[in-house]
């Protein structure tokens, strides 16, 4: 009897592994990056993790095709960043700073203006910049994306900053800038609707680069503020 149980467990484990492998391969088939791209392998790992993590089971049932599930999963990450641990948002700020530096002004401005609902264009631009980063930073970006998707899916608590914390941190951040930059930042932020791509991009790059130079806890709080709408 004991041997039968062991055999049944072995068969069950083999079937589970087989189903998992099928799910992984179906997900991997939706990888839009060619094997020559530095994003191909990291994105493949990202897709396979999403395809086999049981926390995505119900989510996948609500989506149509595998391709739609991939797009929806990417969109999920956009909403999930505000649910990440503050330390991970500092990591995101480091990566965003590197990517903004690698973008042209039009792309940089588009990403800065974009909302999570604009995930397709936003993702395309981010991926183009991401390709230019070192492999370890590419891997870290997809790790963050997966964590953000899980955080959104499981409804982890969102960033909870008081208005006083936000105002005080922004004040410290502004004072950390040279005087001419303070004036330019305030002028642009006071009339974002009429700001051109060059100004929007300059503000975004300035915000991320200068945030990383702040001391704690302002650096961490500012990294949180940067993902708030």
The CA-atom distances, in angstroms, between 104 and each of 111, 137, 193, 200, 202 are: 11, 20, 20, 12, 11
Structure tokens that stand for 83 in this block: 């649910």
User: 3-class DSSP state for residue 50?
Assistant: helix
Please provide residue 176's backbone torsions phi and psi, each rounded to the nearest 5 degrees. -80, -10
Q: Do 28 and 132 have their domain in common?
A: yes
Cα–Cα distance for residue pair 164/151, rounded to 1 Å: 26
- pLDDT less than 70: residues of the chain: 1-30, 62-74, 115-119, 229
Q: Cβ contacts of residue 217 below 8 Å, gap of 6+? A: none
Last residue of a domain, one of 120, 153, 186: 153
Under 8 Å between Cβ of 220 and 87 = yes
Q: Which of 139, 41, 48 is nearest to 56 (CA)?
A: 48
Give the residue numbers spanning the domain of 87: 23-153
Q: Do 218 and 130 have their domain in common?
A: no
pLDDT at 64: 58
Q: Do 192 and 147 have their domain in common?
A: no
Q: Do 55 and 141 have their domain in common?
A: yes
Cα–Cα distance for residue pair 30/67, rounded to 1 Å: 6
Under 8 Å between Cβ of 57 and 20 = no
Cα–Cα distance for residue pair 180/204, rounded to 1 Å: 16
pLDDT at 76: 79
Q: Do 36 and 135 have their domain in common?
A: yes
pLDDT at 29: 62
Q: What is the CA radius of gyration of the chain?
A: 21
Under 8 Å between Cβ of 123 and 26 = no
**Cα torsion 94, 212, 108, 119: sign:** positive
Give the burial class of 169: count Cβ atoms within 10 A of its Cβ; 0-12 exposed, 13-18 middle, 19 or more buried. Answer: buried
Q: Do 147 and 168 have their domain in common?
A: no
Cα–Cα distance for residue pair 219/35, rounded to 1 Å: 37
The count of domains in the chain is 2
Q: Do 123 and 193 have their domain in common?
A: no
pLDDT at 15: 39
Kindly state whether residue 8 falls inside one of the protein's structural domains: no
Q: Do 103 and 127 have their domain in common?
A: yes
- pLDDT tens-digit profile of 197-227? 999 999 999 999 999 999 999 999 999 999 9
Under 8 Å between Cβ of 52 and 20 = yes
User: 3-class DSSP state for residue 72?
Assistant: helix
Kindly state whether residue 10 falls inside one of the protein's structural domains: no
Q: Do 84 and 190 have their domain in common?
A: no
Q: Compute the CA torsion angle 163, 169, 174, 177 (nearest 10 deg).
A: -170
């Amino acid at each position: 009897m004991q041997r039968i149980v062991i055999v049944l467990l072995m068969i069950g484990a083999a079937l589970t592994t087989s189903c998992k492998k099928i799910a992984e391969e179906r997900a991997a088939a939706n990888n839009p990056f060619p094997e020559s791209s530095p994003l191909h392998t990291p994105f493949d790992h990202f897709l396979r993790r999403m395809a086999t993590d049981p926390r995505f089971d119900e989510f996948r049932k609500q989506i149509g095709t595998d391709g739609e599930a991939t797009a929806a999963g990417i969109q999920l990450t956009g909403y999930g960043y505000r649910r990440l641990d503050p330390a991970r948002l500092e990591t995101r700020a480091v990566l965003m700073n590197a990517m903004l530096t690698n973008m042209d002004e039009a792309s940089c401005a588009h990403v800065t203006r974009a909302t999570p609902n604009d995930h397709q264009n936003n993702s395309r631009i981010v991926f183009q910049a991401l390709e230019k980063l070192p492999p370890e930073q590419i891997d870290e970006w997809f790790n963050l994306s997966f964590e953000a998707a899980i955080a959104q899916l499981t409804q982890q608590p969102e960033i909870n900053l008081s208005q006083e914390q936000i105002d005080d941190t922004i004040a410290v951040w502004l004072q950390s800038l040279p005087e001419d930059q303070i004036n330019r930042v305030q002028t642009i932020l006071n009339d974002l609707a009429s700001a051109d791509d060059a100004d929007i991009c300059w503000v975004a790059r300035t915000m991320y680069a200068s945030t990383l130079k702040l001391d704690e806890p302002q650096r961490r709080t500012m990294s949180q503020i940067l993902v708030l709408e």
